[in-house]
Amino acid sequence: MKITNVYTEKYKWPKAKPIANGTHVFTDNELNLVVVETDEGITGYGTSWEINFAERMGRAILGEDPLNNERLWKKTYVPKFMGRKGNSLWTVSAIDIALWDIKAKVAGLPLYRLIGGSREKIPFYIAGGYYARDKGIRELQAEMEEYLSWGANAVKMKVGLLSMKEDAERVRAVREVIGDDVKLMLDANCSYKFFEAIEFARMVEQYNPYWFEEPIDQDDYDGYAKVAQKSNIPLAAGENEMTRFGFRDLIRSQSISIMNPDAECMGGVTEFLKVAAMADANGIVLSPHGQQQVHVHLDCAVPNATIAEFYPPQYDAKIYEAFENPVQLNQDGTVSPSQAPGVGLDINRKVLMDFRIK
């Protein structure tokens, strides 16, 4: 089998209503695909935050066997010419995911079974609780009540945009409506300084958060250590970390209890598996961030994944129409990957055709 073509498809559509976290405002949804075609008619799909270098990198792997993912990772990840992180590594990630899609399709297996098969389903949390115009305490509570009606036993909410006092009140209100038995995650999206994160953690400890995610800048390893020393809330981080070397340094900070690697940006499935093993050897559990079509497979593949992130229709309703085999929730508070061979990124082009931008 040989790679015959590598190209991109980019789609973008507006959100019904803009939403925000502690740092950013989101007005649109995007789906960036790298498509890898082979001479045997099997096509692989990969996705990332951006794929600007896909066609250039694709030229380096034309004629190669797509099953040789380690060899092709090294051919695409060339820091001297393409840079170490950011857009270049995001593109490497998308290509790597597409290669694993091909490999799983050749094997006739869903990705999670090909690379580990640790479980058939995993508990999920709803990644909600964003800020939005005209969304006050009551609206936030109603949102969380809806998630509970879906069978969710864990929910996440954003903090960091408002004053600490206002956000602490929002945390109190959510805990009040979800009860004591539902896990509550807090995500600051790097919005605090380390001393502010310590102060906020003390304000909300009484509401028993399951984790405090990215309280400070993703590169401030010393700051994470300072927060961990002063807070009783477990810290989570890693969605902005890249390569196994970045995660090695994050682990060495001895501050993170839960890591949130994102295969779309940190190096693809190939690099994710190395990070998962490294975390497992250090007693750290995983809850991967981002594209659930891919990450629910990774959640169910490795033994140290603890809970899956699931984005609700309030975040992006069209995403459930965009894929041929969308991830769906089970009624017992768990989520399962598709049983179709591959990674799960085969798209419904009829749904997306009006939103293609490249």
Which residue type, as a one-letter code, is found at position 217? D
What is the CB neighbour count within 10 angstroms for residue 179? 9
pTM over 0.75, yes/no: yes
Say if residues 300 and 118 touch (Cβ distance below 8 Å). yes
- Predicted confidence band of residue 93 (pLDDT cuts 50, 70, 90): very high
Q: 61: exposed, middle or buried (C-beta count within 10 Å: 0-12, 13-18, 19+)? A: buried
How confident is the model at residue 186, as a pLDDT?
98
Q: Which two tokens stand for residue 356?
A: 């293609």
How confident is the model at residue 81, as a pLDDT?
83
Q: Which two tokens stand for residue 307?
A: 């809970």
How confident is the model at residue 319, as a pLDDT?
76
How confident is the model at residue 120, as a pLDDT?
95
DSSP reduced 3-state for 62: coil
Q: What is the mean pLDDT of the chain?
A: 95
Could you tell me the fold of the domain covering 113-336? TIM Barrel (3.20.20)
How confident is the model at residue 200, as a pLDDT?
98
Q: What percent of the chain has pLDDT over 90?
A: 91
How confident is the model at residue 326, as a pLDDT?
87
pLDDT over threshold 80, residue 262: yes
Q: Which two tokens stand for residue 284?
A: 């750290």
Say if residues 235 and 194 touch (Cβ distance below 8 Å). no
- CA 94 centroid distance within chain: 13
Instruction: Work out the end-to-end distance of the chain between its first and last CA atoms, rounded to an integer number of angstroms.
Output: 28
Alpha-carbon distance 110 to 200, whole Å? 42
Q: Which two tokens stand for residue 203?
A: 């304000």
How confident is the model at residue 203, as a pLDDT?
98
Alpha-carbon distance 110 to 117, whole Å? 9
Q: What percent of the chain has pLDDT over 70?
A: 100
Weakest-pLDDT range from 116-130, 240-254, 322-336: 322-336
Q: Which two tokens stand for residue 26?
A: 């989101």
How confident is the model at residue 317, as a pLDDT?
77
- Predicted confidence band of residue 358 (pLDDT cuts 50, 70, 90): confident
Model pLDDT for residues 6-27, shown as the tens digit of each residue = 999 999 999 988 999 999 999 9
Alpha-carbon distance 91 to 95, whole Å? 6
Domain boundaries along the sequence of the chain: 3-108+351-355, 113-336
DSSP reduced 3-state for 232: coil
Alpha-carbon distance 296 to 339, whole Å? 12
How confident is the model at residue 313, as a pLDDT?
79
Model pLDDT for residues 97-115, shown as the tens digit of each residue = 999 999 999 999 999 999 9
How confident is the model at residue 314, as a pLDDT?
75
What is the CB neighbour count within 10 angstroms for residue 128? 22
How confident is the model at residue 220, as a pLDDT?
96
Alpha-carbon distance 286 to 280, whole Å? 9
Model pLDDT for residues 292-333, shown as the tens digit of each residue = 999 999 999 999 999 999 998 777 878 778 999 988 888 899
The second-level CATH assignment, the architecture, of 3-108+351-355 is: 2-Layer Sandwich (3.30)
Residue 280 bridge partners (DSSP): none
> Tokens 């409506």, residue?
177
Say if residues 266 and 254 touch (Cβ distance below 8 Å). no
Q: 78: exposed, middle or buried (C-beta count within 10 Å: 0-12, 13-18, 19+)? A: middle
pLDDT over threshold 90, residue 85: no
Average pLDDT over residues 127-131: 96
What DSSP state is assigned to residue 216? Answer: S
Q: 296: exposed, middle or buried (C-beta count within 10 Å: 0-12, 13-18, 19+)? A: buried
Model pLDDT for residues 180-211, shown as the tens digit of each residue = 999 999 999 999 999 999 999 999 999 999 99
Alpha helices in the chain (DSSP H): 54-61, 69-76, 79-82, 87-107, 111-115, 137-149, 164-178, 194-204, 221-230, 243-252, 263-266, 268-281, 292-301, 319-322, 349-352
Model pLDDT for residues 209-225, shown as the tens digit of each residue = 999 999 999 999 999 99
